[in-house]
């Protein structure tokens, strides 16, 4: 595949985390990649995507004729997670958003890209005692794909954010795919947090004193996390960013909210990424985004499996029997 342009589509693209990742990987390994189609129904996400990539994603994927989507080598999608999330109502396929997975299946059936990469919340694995994920995997295998999944934590890939997400990969050929091992040192919060933060991000004296009354700590910098039960955790990293959590869900040193740039950094977006939406929308976008460095390492392994990666830099992850995935396909 020397000098070949890797064509991909970016479904439920949000603000473009998958695209940032694939552009980074392509550049790092001297490859060429091109997005031939992107889609997201959220107007504010479309606005952010356009500002950063120069194109506006198509809207509702249900209204897109799959035959009009360009052929591509790779399909990427962070399909809506609310139906499977502990924060959502957990209805899964009973929720109309849950059926959006089948829009991905519809496109895979029509276009048969060589590979795909999907992302969702880790709760998908145990949803309805595993039935939901089993149905997803059966659907993908019935389309002729060899598939596998794994839960990866952004903390293991350099980000100071405990963010566990399930990733699903699939290939038309039974290639040797190896999940990345992680173990990368965590970037300290000092490299994430901004200085001279505006007063508008600081909580009221009432909220600050209420937090301090529950718990106090000398750990700084730290991010204070309040769970749904009201318990406070204090860590040298962030708990997972969430789109619909309370405004005081995460507080830096217990006294202020994260800034838009800090939220983007926690997801691995570069400082060159343009933030063009209001605070509330940016907070929602960051909470729904994929952790870019995790997507990068998975994509690198996909490229390796497809023998796209130049030979002299292939097999970056140690290859051993415990990490080898034998992917199955329905007969």
Give catalytic residues, as residue numbers: 81
The candidate with the shortest Cα–Cα distance to 93, out of 57, 64, 61, 120, is 120
Which pair of tokens denotes residue 61?
Answer: 């994927």
256: DSSP letter = B
Contact 20, 273 (CB under 8 A): yes
- Cα–Cα distance for residue pair 5/72, rounded to 1 Å: 10
Which pair of tokens denotes residue 244?
Answer: 């619909």
- Cα–Cα distance for residue pair 60/68, rounded to 1 Å: 14
Is omega for the bond preceding 223 within 30 degrees of 0, making it cis? no
The dihedral through the CA atoms of 85, 109, 14, 26 has a sign that is: positive
- Cα–Cα distance for residue pair 231/235, rounded to 1 Å: 13
3 state SS of 241: coil
- Cα–Cα distance for residue pair 168/58, rounded to 1 Å: 24
DSSP notation for 112-124: --SEEEEEEEGGG
Q: Which residues of 85-123 are buried (b: 16+ CB within 10 A; e: fewer)?
A: bebbebebbebebbebbebbebbbeebebbbbbbbbbbb
Q: Which residue has the tokens 């949000």?
A: 14
- Map 100-157 to HEC letters: HHHHHHHHHHHHCCCEEEEEEEHHHCCHHHHHHHHHHHHHHHHCCCEEEEEEEEHHHE
The dihedral through the CA atoms of 192, 195, 198, 200 has a sign that is: positive
Dihedral angle of Cα 138, 320, 175, 180, to the nearest 10 degrees: 70
268: DSSP letter = T
């Amino acid at each position: 595949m020397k000098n070949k342009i890797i064509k991909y589509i970016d479904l439920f693209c949000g603000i473009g985390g998958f695209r940032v990742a694939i552009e980074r990987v392509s550049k790092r390994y001297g490859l060429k990649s091109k997005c031939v189609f992107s889609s997201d129904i959220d107007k504010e996400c479309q606005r952010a995507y356009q500002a950063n990539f120069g194109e506006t994603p198509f809207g509702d994927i249900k209204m897109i004729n799959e035959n009009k989507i360009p052929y591509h080598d790779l399909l990427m999608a962070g399909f809506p997670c609310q139906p499977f999330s502990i924060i959502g109502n957990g209805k899964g396929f009973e929720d109309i958003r849950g059926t959006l997975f089948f829009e991905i299946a519809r496109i895979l059936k029509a276009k048969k890209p060589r590979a795909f990469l999907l992302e969702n919340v880790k709760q998908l694995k145990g949803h309805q005692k595993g039935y939901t994920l089993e149905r997803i995997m059966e659907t993908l295998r019935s389309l002729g794909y060899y598939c596998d999944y794994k839960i990866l934590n952004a903390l293991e890939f350099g980000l100071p954010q405990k963010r566990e997400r399930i990733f699903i990969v699939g290939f038309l050929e039974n290639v040797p795919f190896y999940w990345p091992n992680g173990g990368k040192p965590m970037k300290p919060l000092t490299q994430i947090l901004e200085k001279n933060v505006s007063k508008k991000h600081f909580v009221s004296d009432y909220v600050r004193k209420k937090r301090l009354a529950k718990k106090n700590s000398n750990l700084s910098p730290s991010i204070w996390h309040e769970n749904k039960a009201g318990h406070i955790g204090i860590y040298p990293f962030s708990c997972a960013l969430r789109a619909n959590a309370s405004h005081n869900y995460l507080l830096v040193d217990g006294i202020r909210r994260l800034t838009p740039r800090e939220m983007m950094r926690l997801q691995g977006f570069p400082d060159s990424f343009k933030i063009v939406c209001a605070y509330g929308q940016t907070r929602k976008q960051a909470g729904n985004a994929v952790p870019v460095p995790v997507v990068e390492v998975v994509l690198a392994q996909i490229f390796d499996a497809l023998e796209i990666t130049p030979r002299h830099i292939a097999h970056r992850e140690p290859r051993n029997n415990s990490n080898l995935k034998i992917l199955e396909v329905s007969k």
